[in-house]
Amino acid sequence: MKKKRRNPQLPKDDLAAAPSWPYLPLLILTALCVCIAIMRLHTYNEPFERDITSHAVIAHEMLAGRQLYSDLWDSKPPAIFVTYATADILVGYGPLQVYFIGVMAAIVTLLGIYRAGSAQGGAAGGLWAAAFWAFICSDMYLWANQPNIEVCINACLAWAFALILRTDEQKLQPGRWLAIGGLFALATFYKPVAITFAGLLAVFHILTRLHQAEARKIAFLQVGIAAAIGAAAWAAVAGYFAATDRLTTFYQTVFQYGSYYTKSRGGSILKNILEGFSYKRFFAQAMKSTKVLAIFATAGAVLGLWKGRRRYWLLLIGFALAAHIAVALPGRFYRHYYQLWLGPLVIGTGWAIATFGPKGKPYPALARHTAGAIGMIILLSSVLPQYKFSADEWSAKKINPQFVVSRRVVTEVDRLLRPGETLYVWGQNPEFYFWAKRRPPTGLIWSTDLMDNPLAEEHTARALADLKREKPEIFVVNILQFKVPLNHPVIRWALQNYVPLPENPNRGLLYGRAFLFRVFIRRDGRLASQFRLQGPG
């Protein structure tokens, strides 16, 4: 009778053993995917924050023929808009599009995390990592229930990390490293700060291969393959924009404006990174639900390094360090940035469950599963109470009630308009176009892009030309978001051509104290004529 070969990648203990029923992992992973889909349904109709609606509006306009950057302007690389445009094609424009992207990205990440977790912890370690991901990936404090850019980056990183973990120190494996390079490149197309993951994981991968000359040589070659595919991918994108006469605009948008954004609060890259290590940033309120994951992952790293499985844990440390730097680099520390910590934390937690126990001694699987169950109960005690709040309350608690109020105002303003008529919003409120499903008269849909921007003069001229051509029937001003500059060319033009909506131009009472918006109608437009004919009241 032949002796069964043990998988050399797995720890030699009972927890890492393959499940007695081979389809059990598939069944559990399917159940976790269903849980994610159900949890996301709770906030299906949430009044989305500005980034979500901005991505959806720009993607929808791209499908209508407008060009990214030269017409539709946003400072982000193209991947997020391509993602939203793809979802628009598949499921339509609106809340279902947002739900679809969020759920699919979370499921793709879950599978990558299972793969990474099982590399060190066997099937059980992978399943625990996936389970923790399933219940933290929609966390309210991290704004993780909606598909901002970080959810797409996490999907790329989870799979890139899983592929790195299973590399061979004696074989080049060019196909694997082409895939790793492609995943890292895709992550940077969502947000350039993702380069920190590629760089640090490459460094840590080489460090773990320094013990032997041949392994070290292969590691350098493997990293070189990944770097080459990343460079080639960026060159291809730059070539595309050059071929469409948008290379200068693309460079100014992604790189020049990106550098300005990082330094715009008086900081520098080094200063931002150092600030990330401050108590306030390192123990941010965004991470409220993840404390148990941090404890598990830290304890697992200590035990894992002590027990001799150093390569895996060193790579995970590199993953976590990259997450910290990526969160800190822009100097803004928005809550959704902290989602980049979730990958290393949940994978570390899954590995920790597989590592617990005295060095060199067997440790009962039941005890390890019990530790995992206790950790899950602690996590759920923080996550599940969030679901007693309505979708509107989630929006208000994540930021403030402004997006709940603005969606209500959109409904009021949209009733005034006829099909084909347009509106323009001075403010950071792309949700007006999203909820009303009306096309913006200009591709510069954030007024801050006309003021707080190195390209402000060029953008102002373009927006003003668009508005003069399109003549939107309604001009809405966000009067609470920031001081409205009366000397700005767009505002001067609006004051000359628009009048306050008769009877009550103010809309959107916020906190019961002040109105968020003021609505204006075109002096020579249909609405002005209608109100003159009808008279007051």
Per-residue model confidence as pLDDT tens digits over 203-232: 999 999 988 889 899 999 999 999 999 999
Q: Please indicate, yes or no, whether the overall pTM of this predicted structure exceeds 0.75.
A: yes
What is the pLDDT averaged over residues 72-88? 95
Per-residue model confidence as pLDDT tens digits over 93-114: 999 999 999 999 999 999 999 9
Q: What is the pLDDT of residue 5?
A: 40
Q: What is the pLDDT of residue 354?
A: 85
Q: What is the DSSP string of 244-258?
A: TT-HHHHHIIIIIHH
Q: What is the pLDDT of residue 19?
A: 61
Q: What is the pLDDT of residue 182?
A: 97
For residue 136, give the nearest of 402, 350, 395 by alpha carbon: 350
For residue 336, give the nearest of 287, 283, 279, 391 by alpha carbon: 287
Give the chain's end-to-end CA distance (angstroms, integer): 94
Query: pLDDT confidence of 264, banded at 50, 70, 90?
Result: low
- Pick the more confident residue, 90 or 304: 90
For residue 194, give the nearest of 80, 56, 63, 364 by alpha carbon: 80
Is-contact 501 520, C-beta < 8 A? yes
Q: What is the pLDDT of residue 110?
A: 98
- Pick the more confident residue, 170 or 434: 434
Q: What is the pLDDT of residue 533?
A: 58
Q: What is the pLDDT of residue 536?
A: 43
pLDDT(537) > 50: no
> Which residue has tokens 């409205």?
484
Phi, psi of 323 (to 5 degrees): -60, -45
Handedness of CA 489, 495, 496, 499 (dihedral sign): positive
Provide CB contacts within 8 A for 423, sequence distance 6+.
Answer: 413, 417, 432, 433, 436, 438, 441, 472, 473, 474, 475, 476
- Per-residue three-class SS string for 98-146: HHHHHHHHHHHHHHHHHHHHHHHHHHHHHHHHHHHHHHHCCCCCCCCCC
Q: What is the pLDDT of residue 360?
A: 53
Q: What is the pLDDT of residue 362?
A: 58
State what percent of residues in the chain have pLDDT above 90.
70
Q: What is the pLDDT of residue 12?
A: 42
pLDDT(443) > 50: yes
- Pick the more confident residue, 258 or 385: 385
State what percent of residues in the chain have pLDDT above 70.
93
Per-residue model confidence as pLDDT tens digits over 20-74: 667 889 999 999 999 999 999 999 999 999 999 999 999 999 999 999 998 999 9
What is the pLDDT averaged over residues 319-331? 93
Is-contact 503 536, C-beta < 8 A? yes
What is the pLDDT averaged over residues 302-323? 89
Is-contact 91 44, C-beta < 8 A? no
Other CB atoms within a 10 A radius of the CB of residue 363 amount to: 16
Q: What is the pLDDT of residue 359?
A: 55
Domain boundaries, the chain: 24-161+244-388, 400-534
Q: What is the pLDDT of residue 307?
A: 73
What token pair was written down for 300?
A: 């697992």
What token pair was written down for 302?
A: 């200590």
